[in-house]
């Protein structure tokens, strides 16, 4: 059963040049206890999608519509206040890129983790005990609780951010590039921690990253995002072993391989301007297989069987 | 312990600032010949009186000239003009450093005391009254408006007040003071007094006297507030706006923290240290403005005293003593800032 069901989600930002199509009709399902990786380049709208799921919208929102169902409950119908009280952190939490400036520099670590608990009038000693439990869960010592963020290393901060995300026992955790600013060795530790938490707590993840190799390590499902849309969606095996979209194929070919003489190849060009998108397929200008039809009409996401969906005209004929 | 050592180091560097300022005062007064000119004009003035006195008792012109030369030599020795400035002035400075501020030549307290210590004790509270009141007002207005604007950057209110901030920053306090006197005293038919601390004669009774004082303080305080609010507001706006865009604020919102608490704990609390720095450094920078404001409004405080010390018949011991006191106040403000920073920002502790 899907714990989270997103249908036709749109998030446009208003700019003087026109609306930015950050999230442009995204749909997916997240089965309970599984992880969905959202992979894409910078500007593909993957972070906007994470923020849209938590309704953390900037002031310049132009369009925000679609359907988000959590355990069958439609979240788009909730008022902002209801959403804040009932959904944020309690049902859906988000672990940001913690090595950067996600933690408040002048507030002690334990208070930053315990803040939502204390807001619910949990007694301080109890909240404190919960924080210490969480810190141990993410592999930190209890005395980190009384430190300030600047006293911690990047890896420790990322663990604190994870502990903070887990404080209200959420069902779904959105992981937004949780390892991007870390050393490779620390990155591996955090990935192992994420896998352990998923197993032990039965969490469902949405893992946002630009690193398809990293996503394949953790995720059961993969969605490839390009210019605000999902261009390929399926189980990790389907997407990694039988990639159908030329963009996915390009991404996979760009991964350096240890035991192969083949050099990684790169996708030429840059993603399109999100304000001024090209007609037809959004990837066609960089696509080695583009043909006439790609310029005429935008392709739709089509099922290829067994839940594998691809947004490409190459598949239409088959 | 590390904190104490750090504070001690800062205190030492501020003491060095005080010493350097005093050395500069000596050089400026001495090397330019200003000090020598002051003293010789003082002596010449006293010599005129002496000449008249002596002329009545001594009839022989040659005898008179000799007696006058004798008198002048004595006066020069008394005032130290027989020694060069680099010997005389450092003695003054050393005396001031032992907190013996010396005597003023013409200025005196209401009781007639000429000791500079007494004069400052009389004047400092008057200045403090004006400036602490203004400070509280412009701190509250500036921080309130600044943080308010930060929540709606680019709005109409933001644009209007940003223009006001630029104008306020550019306004010299003396010019603003004169303009306000022109408006509220001349054009509006004496709605507010043009200057002074009390009416003449001052009203009887404690409350009436206080109200009269408040009535006279309105315009100078308004001037100071008008000049200082804009820059402080803009600094508060910019800093708050920067903090509000940081990732930890989004993180706090994601946690489901209500907006009011997000603003207090995650925006203002983080923005506080640099805003306080701006406030205290601005305060220190406004010393010059405080002098001119007091002069414009004939407010008999420290600023006016400084002006009296350097203009007309300059008074050297008053200049040295006041510079010392002002520099000490500056050092004190800086030291308070250091302590505030320790309290407000944990990153400073190590």
Residue ranges of the domains in chain B? 2-97, 123-314
d(CA B331, CA B10): 10
Determine the distance in angstroms separating the CA of B230 from the nearest CA of chain A, rounded to an integer: 26
Give bridge partners of residue A88 from the DSSP assignment.
A92
Residue A318 has pLDDT above 60, yes or no: no
pLDDT class for B43, splitting at 50, 70, 90? confident
CATH number for the segment(s) B123-314: 1.10.3720.10
pLDDT of residue A317: 62
- Asked if A315 contacts A301 with a C-beta cutoff of 8 angstroms, the reply is no
Residue numbers in A near B248 (CB within 8 A): 101-105
Residue A94 DSSP code:
E
Extract the tokens encoding A205: 């993840």
Check B255 against A101: CB less than 8 A apart.
Answer: no
Q: Which of A101, A6, A77 minimizes the C-alpha distance to A48?
A: A6
Helix, strand, or coil (residue A175): strand
Output phi, psi for A316, to 5 deg: -65, -35
- Crossing angle between the packed helical segments B302-310 and B116-151, to the nearest 10 degrees: 120
Q: Do A103 and B251 touch (CB under 8 A)?
A: yes
CB burial string B284-299: b at 16+ within 10 A, e below: bebbebbbbbbbbbeb
* Residue B349, pLDDT score: 64
Q: Do A106 and B252 touch (CB under 8 A)?
A: no
Spatial separation of the C-alpha atoms in residues A198 and A3, rounded to whole Å: 14
Strands of A35-39's sheet in order across: A92-95, A172-176, A204-209, A35-39, A221-226, A229-235, A309-311, A301-303
What pLDDT is recorded for position A203? Answer: 94
CB A280 within 8 A of CB A295: yes
pLDDT in tens, B156-215: 999 999 999 999 999 998 999 999 999 999 999 888 898 888 888 888 888 898 999 999
pLDDT digits (tens, 9 = 90+) for A111-154: 999 999 999 999 999 999 999 999 999 999 999 999 999 999 88
Closest-approach residue (CA) in chain A for B253: A56
- Average pLDDT value for chain B: 88
- Model pLDDT for residues A26-46, shown as the tens digit of each residue: 999 999 999 999 998 888 888
Residues of A in contact with B256 (CB under 8 A): 84-85, 87-90, 116, 119
The confidence band for B101, taking pLDDT boundaries of 50, 70 and 90, is confident
- What is the pLDDT at residue B179? 95
Verify cis geometry, omega within 30 degrees of 0, for the bond prior to B201.
yes
**What number is the ipTM of this complex?**
0.87
Average pLDDT over residues B150-157: 88
CB spacing of B248 vs A104 below 8 angstroms:
yes
Residue A38: the pLDDT is 94
**pLDDT for the residue numbered B1:** 64
CA atoms within a 13 Å half-sphere pointing along the CA-CB vector of B147: 18
Residue ranges with strand state E in chain B: none
Which residues in chain B have their CB less than 8 angstroms from residue A161's CB? 251
Cα–Cα distance between B254 and B97 in angstroms, integer?
A: 58
Q: Are B248 and A94 in contact (CB under 8 A)?
A: no
Measured between CB atoms, which of A97, A107, A115 is closest to B255? A115
Note whether A101 contacts B247, CB cutoff 8 Å. yes
**Tens-digit pLDDT profile for residues B213-272:** 999 999 999 999 999 999 999 999 999 999 998 999 999 999 999 999 999 999 999 999
A165-177 pLDDT per residue, tens: 999 999 999 999 8
Q: Cα A260 from chain centroid?
A: 31
Q: Give residues with Cβ within 8 angstroms of B265, minimum separation 6.
A: A104, A107, B252, B257
Contacts of B269 in chain A (CB under 8 A): 104, 106-107
As a whole number of angstroms, the distance between CA B11 and CA B24 comes to 20
Q: How far apart are CA A256 and CA B328, in angstroms?
A: 66
**Closest residue of A to B248, CA-based?**
A102
- DSSP state for residue A277 in the 8-state scheme: P
Instruction: Provide, as residue numbers in chain B, all residues whose Cβ is less than 8 Å from the Cβ of A100.
Output: 247
| A239 at B interface, C-beta within 8 A | no
Minimum-distance CB partner of B347 among A93, A150, A164: A150
By Cβ distance, the residue of B250, B344, B347 closest to A56 is B250
Q: A108: burial class by Cβ within 10 Å (0-12, 13-18, 19+)?
A: middle
Task: At A134, list the tokens.
Answer: 């969480």
Per-residue pLDDT band for A99 (boundaries 50, 70, 90) equals low
Residue A101 above 90 pLDDT?
A: no
CA distance A310 to A304: 7
Q: Do B246 and A119 touch (CB under 8 A)?
A: no
Nearest beta carbon to residue A88 from set B256, B265, B346: B256
- List the single residue in A88, A100, A115 with the smallest CB-CB distance to B247: A100
- Which residues of chain A from 88 to 107 reach within 8 Å of chain B, CB to CB? 88-90, 93-94, 96-97, 100-107
In this prediction, residue B60 carries a pLDDT of 82
Q: What is the pLDDT of residue A184?
A: 87
pLDDT for the residue numbered A182: 82
Q: Using CB atoms, pick whichever of A93, A102, A115 lies closest to residue B247.
A: A102
Nearest to A23 by CA among A318, A282, A277, A274: A274
> Is the pLDDT reported for residue A98 higher than 70?
no
DSSP annotation of B115 = B
pTM: 0.80
Burial class (CB within 10 angstroms; exposed 0-12, middle 13-18, buried 19+) of B320: buried
How sure is the predictor about B106, in pLDDT bands with cuts at 50, 70 and 90?
Answer: confident
Nearest-CB residue to B346 (from A85, A106, A119): A106
Three-state DSSP class for residue A291: coil
pLDDT of residue A81: 92
**Strand, coil or helix: what is B5?**
helix
Structure-block tokens of residue A70: 């959590």
Q: What percentage of chain B has pLDDT greater than the value 70? A: 99
**Half-sphere exposure of residue B325: CA atoms within 13 angstroms, side-chain side:** 20
What φ, ψ does residue A159 adopt, rounded to 5°?
-65, -40
* Residue A276 buriedness (CB in 10 A; 0-12 / 13-18 / 19+): exposed
C-beta separation of A251 from A224 below 8 A: yes
Q: What is the mean pLDDT of residues A247-257?
A: 89
Residue % of chain A over a pLDDT of 70 = 98
Residues of A with Cβ-Cβ distance to B246 under 8 angstroms: 101
C-alpha closest to that of A165 among B254, B247, B246: B254
B346/A96 CB distance under 8 A: no
**Mean pLDDT across chain A:** 90
**What digits encode the pLDDT tens for the residues B61-98?**
888 888 888 888 888 888 888 888 888 888 888 888 88
Specify the pLDDT at position A133. 94
User: What is the Cα A298 distance to its own chain's centre?
Assistant: 25
């Amino acid at each position: 059963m899907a714990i989270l069901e997103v249908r036709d989600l749109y998030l446009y930002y208003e700019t003087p040049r026109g609306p930015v199509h950050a999230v442009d009709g995204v749909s997916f399902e997240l089965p309970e206890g599984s992880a969905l990786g959202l992979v894409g380049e910078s500007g593909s709208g993957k972070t906007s999608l994470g923020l849209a799921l938590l309704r953390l919208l900037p002031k310049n929102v132009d369009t925000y519509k679609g359907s988000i169902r959590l355990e069958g409950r439609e979240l788009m119908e909730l008022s902002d206040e209801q959403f804040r009280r009932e959904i944020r952190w309690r049902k859906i939490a988000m672990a940001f890129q913690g090595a950067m400036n996600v933690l408040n520099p002048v507030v002690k670590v334990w208070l930053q983790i315990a803040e939502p608990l204390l807001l619910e009038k949990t007694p301080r000693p109890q909240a404190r005990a919960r924080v210490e439990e969480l810190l141990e869960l993410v592999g930190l010592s209890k005395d980190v609780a009384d430190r300030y963020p600047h006293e911690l290393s990047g890896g420790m901060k990322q663990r604190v951010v994870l502990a903070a995300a887990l404080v209200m026992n959420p069902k779904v955790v959105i992981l937004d590039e949780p390892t991007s600013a870390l050393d490779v060795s620390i990155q591996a530790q955090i990935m192992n921690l994420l896998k352990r938490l998923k197993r032990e707590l039965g969490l469902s993840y949405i893992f946002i990253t630009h690193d398809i190799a990293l996503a394949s390590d953790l995720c059961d499902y993969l969605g490839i995002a390009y210019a605000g849309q999902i261009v390929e969606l399926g189980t990790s095996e389907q997407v990694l072993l039988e990639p159908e979209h030329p963009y996915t194929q390009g991404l996979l070919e760009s991964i350096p391989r240890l035991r192969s003489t083949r050099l990684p190849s790169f996708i030429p060009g840059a993603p399109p301007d999100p304000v001024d998108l090209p007609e037809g397929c959004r990837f066609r200008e960089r696509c080695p297989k583009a043909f006439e039809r790609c310029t005429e009409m935008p392709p739709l996401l089509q099922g290829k069987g067994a839940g594998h969906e691809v947004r490409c005209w190459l598949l239409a004929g088959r | 312990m590390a904190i104490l050592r750090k504070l001690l180091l800062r205190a030492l560097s501020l003491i060095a600032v005080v010493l350097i300022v005093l050395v500069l005062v000596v050089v400026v007064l001495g090397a330019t010949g200003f000090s020598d000119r002051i003293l010789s004009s003082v002596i010449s003035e006293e010599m005129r009186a002496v000449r008249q006195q002596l002329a009545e008792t001594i009839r022989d012109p040659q005898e008179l000239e000799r007696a006058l030369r004798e008198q002048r030599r004595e006066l020069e020795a008394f005032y130290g003009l027989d020694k060069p400035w680099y010997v005389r002035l450092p003695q003054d400075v050393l005396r001031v450093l032992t907190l013996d501020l010396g005597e003023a030549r013409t200025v005196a307290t209401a009781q007639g005391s000429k000791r500079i210590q007494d004069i400052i004790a009389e004047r400092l509270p008057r200045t403090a009254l004006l400036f602490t009141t203004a400070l509280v007002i412009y701190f509250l207005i500036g921080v309130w408006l600044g943080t308010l604007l930060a929540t709606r950057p680019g709005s109409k209110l933001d644009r209007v007040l940003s223009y006001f901030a630029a104008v306020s920053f550019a306004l010299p306090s003396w010019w603003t003071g004169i303009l306000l006197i022109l408006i509220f005293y001349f054009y509006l038919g004496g709605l507010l007094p043009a200057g002074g601390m009390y009416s003449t004669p001052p009203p009887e009774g404690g409350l009436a006297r206080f109200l009269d004082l408040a009535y006279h303080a309105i315009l100078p305080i308004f001037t100071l507030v008008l000049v200082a609010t804009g820059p402080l507001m803009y600094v508060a706006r910019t800093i708050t706006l920067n903090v509000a865009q940081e990732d930890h604020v989004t993180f706090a919102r994601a946690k489901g923290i209500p907006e009011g608490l997000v603003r207090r704990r995650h925006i203002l609390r983080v923005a506080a240290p640099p805003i306080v720095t701006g406030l205290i450094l601005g305060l220190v920078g406004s010393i010059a403005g405080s002098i001119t404001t007091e002069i414009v409004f004939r407010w008999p405080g420290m600023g006016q005293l400084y002006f009296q010390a350097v203009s007309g018949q300059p008074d050297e011991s008053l200049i040295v003593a006041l510079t010392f006191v002002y520099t000490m106040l500056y050092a004190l403000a800086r030291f308070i800032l250091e302590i505030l920073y320790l309290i407000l920002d944990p990153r400073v502790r190590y």
